[in-house]
Structure 1
Amino acid sequence: MADRHVVGFILVASGLLIFNHLLKKKKNGLEPPPLPPGPTPLPLLGNILNIKTDEPWVTYTQWGATYGNIVYSRAFGQEVIIINSENVAKALMEKRSHNYSDRPRLATILPFGWDYNTGFQPYADQWRLHRRCLHQAFRENAVAYFRPMQLRKARQLCIDILGDKSQFHDCDVQGVELVSHIQTLAASIIMSATYDYETAPSHDPLVHIVERALDLAIKFMTPEKAALLGVLPILLHLPDWFPGSVKNEATLSQKYSDDMVDMPYQYAVKSIAAGTAGRCMVSETKLEDETGSQRILLEKALKDSAATAFVAGAETTASTLLVFVLMMVLNPRVQEKAQAEIDLVVGNARLPDFTDRPSLPYVDAILRETLRWFPVVPLGMPRVAGVADVYEGYRIPQGAILIPNAWGMSRDEAKYPNASEFVPERFINADGELKDDTVVHSFGFGRRICPGRHLADASLWAGMVSMLTVFKFMKCKDQAGNDMDVHPQWTSGLTSYPRFPCRIVPRIPGLDREALINLIRSSDGV
């Protein structure tokens, strides 16, 4: 009997001790905080079946409306944190940048030949060399050198669009040609700034090398598709005819990426050796200042980051300009207001240049609203949590992928009322001056903010103001002469841009190619 009492006492005492330990643990905050709220994941698959595959940013924004600005989800075995607020993104990726500056090791990067890309580099010494090369060439006070070139190429875009006036009644032709002309502009600017390479007006061989690499690989560079390949790496080895196989795409992408990195760089190296190279990213990086292994590392970083500059600059600039034209077609009031401002400041005897920019705030407001209305990298670039963290009472697990949903941030009704509407006036204050909001979510956050943003801003402004000066962009008309509805088709992948038919009409009566060239020649700042 005594033994039973002793055993009972021990059990009760043990229970009290355990209870007391758990109570202290809770009081001391030792129990892990909860994960952020989010949709219930399925076993193994996670939330992958709930995501709209062609527009995942829309799904994530809908989740944000239900669960809040920070949402937890799973993609197969990978934990994913969706950030739908610019303030949350800044709090984590800027104020805690030491923990959120790394990139996830996406399973698609190496097999598709994108391990060269600065955007996917781990947060380490090699990435710092990349940033050194990019910052030296494209820092804010350095890119002013490229403005005459950017203006010249923006005006060449207008000449190319003007083309043969006999095509001006065929909306489908104009829509297709517009994409080609704008992509040529964007590629031409960044090839010049990076390699001092002058592209051909069309079918340029080096541009073709880059375009084929981009077209094949960019649709695979998303966390969702990387998660699938991470779980099923056998997809890289299955025969081409097997459903889901990516073997052929990966093999071609690897080859195309190698060509894209090497061939333009070799062109620049030969120009430098011959003494004919102008100022550009490759020529401005002084390899001769380094020796031994450090020089080898720097040259690889230069070659890889130069290719990154071209890929990122060409794709995002062209995509943003296409969004701009779409918005002009859909918002004739905005277009007319901008053109009235240009006419008032510049007149009709010349085209605008960068000295006019401070006097054209509405054009700048259109630029910002274009970036805001549809960020062409809708999900930004993913980050990874270096160590476990707690934010606003929620646990962020170590190794979780963080996706800054730029599209969701653009739809923040608290910051941008009537966010689905295109309203440049939201960036103009009562005195007619530009507000401080520069739409930062379009270029990223913290230590991994886009290093080419200053060059991109100037390229976009030059393209927009030149096209607004020369053309009207309008809806197509049906056989009865009525405006037709516009239903743009959006591409999907890491970037997205619209395809749509439109009418493009010269604003200046009697303007033809020769008259436009003469107008450009008579303009200041060329």
Structure 2
Amino acid sequence: MAYLAGSLFGVGSDTTAVAIMVVVMASACYPKAQEKVQEELDVVISRDRGKSNIVIHLSEISTLLQLPHSTTTTPPADEAFMLECLRWRPMTTLGFTHRALTDIPYIRFSNTCIPEGAIVFGNHWAISRDPSVYPNPDQFDPQRWLNTDGKIRDDLKFPSFGFGRRICPGQHIANRSIFINAALLLWSFKITQDPENPIDESGFVDGVIVHPKPFAACFEPRFGNEAALRGVMGKYGEGL
């Protein structure tokens, strides 16, 4: 029991940390996409909030999850940004192993059968680069997740957390963690590249869970009052 609990904590903390690093990388490399998220966040949490020492409570995060023009529980621009981060740089490029329980005809290719007992990888990187599903797949484009009404599409998915019976059991916690961290980061800061140390968007260390190589990013408070922002963030969590 202790081992299983530790495994869930260890895997969840690592993958979530990688996802947040990708959020920072994408924000710095694609400022227009960052601005769209910030415009939406400012609708609910005014930039004037940063000029006071009012603490951001959990109830305000709940408000964030109910921004207008969304049919889901999360704001469309922020959710689209998060979904594109997970697709653009998958945390597990090969996914995790599955085993075929019976012979499986693979209809995409004629005369192909995955035999019973075969070990199968659902290659997340290859899936994320399928141009028939994600046009111009190497481009970071959160708009691909939005329909003509500006809401999250229900006909487009990406298996960030795997699939089948072995899908990640912590996927909902992970999505919430990434969302809340992305919302707080982008509400608080304008994130840019360091002109003297440009970011290598392909700089990742391969492994079961891929990690970005160290990169530099500049965090500029969006409120022009660093002391007030430090006060807000220093008290974050009180009353949770």
TM-score (norm 2): 0.83
Q: What is the one-letter code of the residue matched to 2:65?
A: R
Which structure has the higher relative contact order (CA within 8 Å, separation 6+)?
A: 2
Among residues 64, 84, 99, which one is paired with 1:356 in the alignment? 64
User: Aligned partners of 1:353, 1:389: CA distance in 2, in Å?
Assistant: 45
1:455 aligns with 2:173: yes
Preserved contact between residue 368 and residue 438 of structure 1 (Cα < 8 Å)? no
1:333 partner SS: helix
Q: What is aligned with 2:140?
A: 422
Deviations 1:42-61 (A, max 9, x none): xxxxxxxxxxxxxxxxxxxx
Q: What is aligned with 1:85?
A: none
Q: Which has the higher helix share?
A: 1
CA separation of 1:358 and 1:416: change in aligned 2, threshold 3 A: farther
Preserved contact between residue 94 and residue 122 of structure 2 (Cα < 8 Å)? yes
Q: What is aligned with 1:496?
A: 210
User: Aligned partners of 1:519, 1:502: CA distance in 2, in Å?
Assistant: 19
Preserved contact between residue 323 and residue 497 of structure 1 (Cα < 8 Å)? no
Q: What is aligned with 1:287?
A: none
For residue 304 of structure 1, report the CA deviation from its aligned partner. Answer: 2.5
1:486 aligns with 2:185: no
Structure 1 gap ranges (5+): 1-301, 479-483
User: Aligned partners of 1:440, 1:522: CA distance in 2, in Å?
Assistant: 32
Matches within 5 A, 1:351-390: 351=56, 353-359=61-67, 360-390=75-105
Among residues 182, 205, 209, which one is paired with 1:464 in the alignment? 182
User: Aligned partners of 1:389, 1:362: CA distance in 2, in Å?
Assistant: 39
CA separation of 1:313 and 1:341: change in aligned 2, threshold 3 A: same
For residue 428 of structure 1, report the CA deviation from its aligned partner. Answer: 1.2
1:503 partner SS: strand
1:516 aligns with 2:230: yes
Among residues 409, 414, 420, which one is paired with 2:127 in the alignment? 409
CA separation of 1:396 and 1:487: change in aligned 2, threshold 3 A: same
> What RMSD in Å do the two structures reach over aligned CA positions?
2.3
Matches within 5 A, 1:252-401: 302-348=1-47, 349=49, 351=56, 353-359=61-67, 360-392=75-107, 393-401=111-119
Q: What is the one-letter code of the residue matched to 2:173?
A: L
Preserved contact between residue 372 and residue 442 of structure 1 (Cα < 8 Å)? yes
Preserved contact between residue 96 and residue 121 of structure 2 (Cα < 8 Å)? yes
Higher Cα Rg, which structure:
1
Q: What is aligned with 1:132?
A: none
Preserved contact between residue 385 and residue 396 of structure 1 (Cα < 8 Å)? yes
Structure 2 gap ranges (5+): 68-74
Matches within 5 A, 1:71-86: none
For residue 344 of structure 1, report the CA deviation from its aligned partner. Answer: 2.0
Matches within 5 A, 1:148-227: none
For residue 507 of structure 1, report the CA deviation from its aligned partner. Answer: 1.4
1:353 partner SS: helix
For residue 437 of structure 1, report the CA deviation from its aligned partner. Answer: 5.0
1:442 partner SS: coil
CA separation of 1:343 and 1:379: change in aligned 2, threshold 3 A: same
TM-score (norm 1): 0.39
CA separation of 1:520 and 1:401: change in aligned 2, threshold 3 A: same
User: Aligned partners of 1:441, 1:522: CA distance in 2, in Å?
Assistant: 32
CA separation of 1:502 and 1:408: change in aligned 2, threshold 3 A: same
User: Aligned partners of 2:133, 2:41: CA distance in 1, in Å?
Assistant: 29
2:120 partner SS: strand
1:456 partner SS: helix
For residue 398 of structure 1, report the CA deviation from its aligned partner. Answer: 3.4
Aligned length: 219
CA separation of 1:435 and 1:525: change in aligned 2, threshold 3 A: farther
